[in-house]
Amino acid sequence: MKFSASAAAALAIATLANAAPAPVPSGGVDVRANDTAPVYHTMSDFDFQSLNLALNQEWIELDLFNYGVRTFSEADFAAAGINAEEISLIQFMANQEVGHATLLTNILSAYGRTPAKQCTYAYDFYTVRDFVNFCQRLTRWGESGVYGFLPHLDSRPSAQLLLQSITTEARQQMIFRQLAGAFPMPVYFETGISQAMAWTSLQPYLISCPAENPRIEWPIFPALNVTNDANLLVDGYNAAISHNRTALTAPGKTVEITWEAPKGNISYDGLYNSTVGGNVMNATMPKYVAWISQLNTTYTDFNITGNYSGMTTQPGGVVFNSTDDGVVNGTMFIALTDSNPYVTPYNLSLLNDYIIAWGLYQAD
């Protein structure tokens, strides 16, 4: 039997109207037709403070990428092996940050709340290669800082949108490693860190912020400095899709560390206030170094050698015995602690209470 086009369309509509719901396995949240419709706004102060921190990260990335393109000439970029098309890629990544900042601003502004606006920043690089190296470090803690809180948000719909944003930032981090002449993705798993850890990494580069910007409630840890940290920038390795090159570090390396004294309250022109967290104000001395990478938090003993200085040994080990994926790898995180509690990727924020100083470690 043949039907006219209009009759066939009517039959299709009637069939859809009478169709049974598609089967869904038991469990899951908000995956059925009669479940609550998604609303994309914050549902708790935890949500607001987490997403507002993420917005601050998007704002500095927008400023940073534009600053690099604006500051350095095509000849400067060419000397680092970066051509005009790759400069355009950096500019496009800045454009992506406009979208990311707009998304988070829209979520945060519900119920009349005030999301952060862009601040004024200061950077400590003066060459193209140092610029791209700084970008790969900044996008590392920006990406990891979101992974750490994403599954803990009360607003699952907001988490979905932020997930679709942060996957782009993961690509940015990989691209900046390529532009720095490094192997683009040396790990099997990307790390998640707490909001306090991400905020500690970000805040040194803020100079001043608009008066209406909300207070950042996450604590700040004193800065940790690896005085013999490896340099990702290796002579002879300019921008490329990939490089097979010798690892920068290895298990057994003596790692020399200094750290800051606790600062108390930190203020940027009286606008962005935050307080150091954990127990660092109690003058507790560090006993361990926590190495945070991929799925692991690994501890090594810390030996104090002077006033706010000491040393440890880079650990070995792999994530899974069936792989060669070292637990210390890539651009990763390192902390001085006064205890060595067992933590996992899902509850890593529990480590906040034991951190005395926080920083990055360039393993590879």
Cα separation of the two ends of the chain: 68
Q: From 122, 46, 119, select the one nearest 271 (Cα to Cα).
A: 119
pLDDT at 8: 64
Residues 104, 106, 110, 112, CA torsion sign? positive
Give the pLDDT band of residue 38 (cuts 50, 70, 90): very high
- The pTM (predicted TM-score) of the whole model is 0.92
pLDDT at 202: 97
pLDDT digits (tens, 9 = 90+) for 101-111: 999 999 999 88
- Other CB atoms within a 10 A radius of the CB of residue 164 amount to 11
Across the range 307-325, mean pLDDT stands at 96
pLDDT over threshold 60, residue 134: yes
Give the pLDDT band of residue 129 (cuts 50, 70, 90): very high
pLDDT digits (tens, 9 = 90+) for 338-363: 999 999 999 999 999 999 999 999 99
pLDDT at 93: 98
pLDDT at 35: 84
pLDDT at 284: 78
Lowest mean pLDDT segment, chosen from 8-12, 28-32, 201-205: 8-12
Separation of alpha carbons 289 and 21, rounded Å: 54
Residues 6+ apart with CB under 8 A from 350: 341, 343
Under DSSP, the state recorded for 182 is S
Across the range 165-189, mean pLDDT stands at 97
pLDDT at 33: 84
In the chain, what are the domain boundaries?
45-208, 224-362
Q: From 171, 54, 140, select the one nearest 103 (Cα to Cα).
A: 54
CB 258 within 8 A of CB 223: no
Residue 149 burial by Cβ neighbours in a 10 Å radius (0-12, 13-18, 19+): buried
Residues 6+ apart with CB under 8 A from 93: 61, 65, 172, 175
Residues 6+ apart with CB under 8 A from 54: 104, 145, 146, 162
pLDDT over threshold 60, residue 46: yes
Query: Rounded to the nearest 5 degrees, what angle is found at the Cα of 53, between the Cα atoms of 341 and 297?
Result: 20
- Identify the bridge partners of residue 258 per DSSP, sorted by sequence position: 225, 309
The percent of residues above 70 in pLDDT, for the chain, comes to 89
pLDDT digits (tens, 9 = 90+) for 207-232: 999 999 999 989 999 999 999 999 99
Query: Rounded to the nearest 5 degrees, what angle is found at the Cα of 113, between the Cα atoms of 112 and 115?
Result: 130
pLDDT at 24: 84
Residue 268 burial by Cβ neighbours in a 10 Å radius (0-12, 13-18, 19+): middle
pLDDT at 270: 44
Q: What homologous superfamily does CATH list for 45-208?
A: Ferritin, core subunit, four-helix bundle (1.20.1260.10)
The percent of residues above 90 in pLDDT, for the chain, comes to 82
Query: Three-class SS of residue 149?
Result: helix
